[in-house]
Amino acid sequence: MCTTCGCSQPAEAVTVQLVGLKQKDAILKAGGVHAQRQQRGHHHPSHETGVAVQVEGQDPQLLQLELDILGENNRLAERNRGYFEAKNILALNLVSSPGSGKTSLLERTLRELQAELPCAVIEGDQQTTNDADRIAATGAPVVQINTGKGCHLDAAMVRRALKPLNPPSDSLLFIENVGNLVCPALFELGEAVRVAIISVTEGDDKPLKYPDIFHSAQVVVVNKIDLLPYVPFSLDALRHNLSRVSHNPRVICLSAYTGEGVEAWYQWLRDTFSSHQA
Ligand code: MG
């Protein structure tokens, strides 16, 4: 959590827009916790020790403030989780860097799976409804959250999006987080599963550079494998690097563009939904 990347965006700038639904567009104000962080310093938690390391000279109250913010977020995430469980919704939080292909994977998944399993989508981006427009074209209900300068979704934003989205019972809910491998790791949304997506046009050392996000993911999807012959990306190296920061995550290799490997992703979704119901 940091101020220079936009986490301190005033809450009033966060909007929720409805796309592909019958309700007219709405703009909803998010919770107030973000505004409290304005003008504060910048620190990063140490993954190795869990001890906060101050990068700049800081207000010593910062750590307590951030603990309070994360505590409040966790409480709201638990409420979201209760909502999902009551409606038998499997919620998946999709996290990755920008350009990994989250939206492309969702488009294909929705087109090929939603006749079998009802799906709904929450889209998170700083600006535009571009991704929600793409999702709406598949026929799936979708709500776009624009975070302004904010670099992640939080539980309060998701909670506000759930009311207009009203995802059906016995369904999958895909929450596409803002493209960012840092701050989304800290914010639970109430999801049952966190899915980290990495494309082969990125480095296979990403898990070492951004350990928190990969440590927190139960599944790692490796996208764009059709480009493997053209890029210096090693699946073996990726698996090795993952093993250094995570506990045996499920790895699914696919190409959302060609469709290679997507059946394994669909089967994993089916199996996880079934076990989630049990
Ligand atoms: Mg996207």
267 CB burial (10 A radius; 0-12, 13-18, 19+): exposed
248 CB burial (10 A radius; 0-12, 13-18, 19+): exposed
Q: What angle do CA 15, 149, 2 make, to 5 degrees?
A: 125
If phi > 0 it is left, if psi is from -120 to 50 it is alpha, else beta; for residue 177 that is beta
Dist. CA 102 → ligand 1 center (Å): 5
Dist. CA 128 → ligand 1 center (Å): 11
CATH architecture under which domain 88-277 falls: 3-Layer(aba) Sandwich (3.40)
Distance, in Å, from the CA atom of 145 to the CA atom of 122, rounded to the nearest integer, reads 7
Dist. CA 109 → ligand 1 center (Å): 14
Dist. CA 246 → ligand 1 center (Å): 25
Per-residue pLDDT of the chain (278 residues; tens, 9 = 90+): 555 555 655 555 567 776 665 443 433 333 333 323 333 333 343 333 333 344 455 566 777 777 788 899 999 999 999 999 999 999 999 999 999 999 999 999 999 999 999 999 999 999 999 999 999 999 999 999 999 989 999 999 999 999 999 999 999 999 999 999 999 999 999 999 999 999 999 999 999 999 999 999 999 999 999 999 999 999 999 999 999 999 889 999 999 999 999 999 999 999 999 998 76
Contact 227, 99 (CB under 8 A): no
Dist. CA 119 → ligand 1 center (Å): 17
Tokens at 19, concatenated: 């796309």
Contact 76, 159 (CB under 8 A): yes
Residue 242 carries which side chain, given as an amino acid letter? L
Tokens at 29, concatenated: 């104000």
Sequence-separated (6 or more) residues with CB below 8 Å from residue 274: none
Dist. CA 97 → ligand 1 center (Å): 10
Contact 196, 217 (CB under 8 A): yes
Distance, in Å, from the CA atom of 186 to the CA atom of 193, rounded to the nearest integer, reads 14
Tokens at 87, concatenated: 């409606």
What's the pLDDT score for residue 248? Answer: 84
What's the pLDDT score for residue 98? Answer: 97
> What pTM, to 2 d.p., does this model score?
0.83
Q: What angle do CA 243, 244, 249 make, to 5 degrees?
A: 30
Dist. CA 56 → ligand 1 center (Å): 32
Tokens at 159, concatenated: 């909670």
Q: Is 225 helix (H, G, I), strand (E, B) or coil?
A: helix
Dist. CA 101 → ligand 1 center (Å): 7
Dist. CA 104 → ligand 1 center (Å): 8
